[in-house]
Structure 1
Amino acid sequence: MAQKSIDNSNEIRNLMENVVALEEQIQHLTKRIQTIQLHCKHVFLETAFMRKCRKCSFTESTYY
């Protein structure tokens, strides 16, 4: 029995547009996070291997 072909081109186009919009939103939000972290007066919690700011979640490795 042959499988029927279904035209999903409109749905695919809409999904692709949504993906592009979400990727742009991710870039915007990532830049906002970076700006906040850049201007934060950090309060770090430290371990032997890393430290993380309690206010903005900026992290850096202390394992050299």
Structure 2
Amino acid sequence: MSQQGNPWWKEPWPWLLMSGPLVAMVACGVTIWLASTHPDMPVQGATRHGLVVEKADAAPPKAAAVRQP
């Protein structure tokens, strides 16, 4: 006699295996929502030049002195 198995949606393993990617997709959605609602956090004493953020009170880097013989 052969036994009839349960349908796949009544077994725990498919749901357990699908829960990981589902949690990752929800976390990605939350991350995108947070990034869109909080675009830039202002930092006191810093200026932004494109992708570079520099402290306003910091001196610019000095070029290396070239010694002449």
Report 1 or 2 for greater relative contact order, CA contacts < 8 Å, sequence distance ≥ 6: 1
| Same fold flag (TM > 0.5) | no
Structure with the bigger percentage of strand: 1
With the shorter chain as reference, the TM-score category is: 0.3 to 0.5
Q: Which has the larger helix fraction? A: 1
Structure whose CA Rg is larger: 2
TM-score normalized with structure 1 length: 0.42
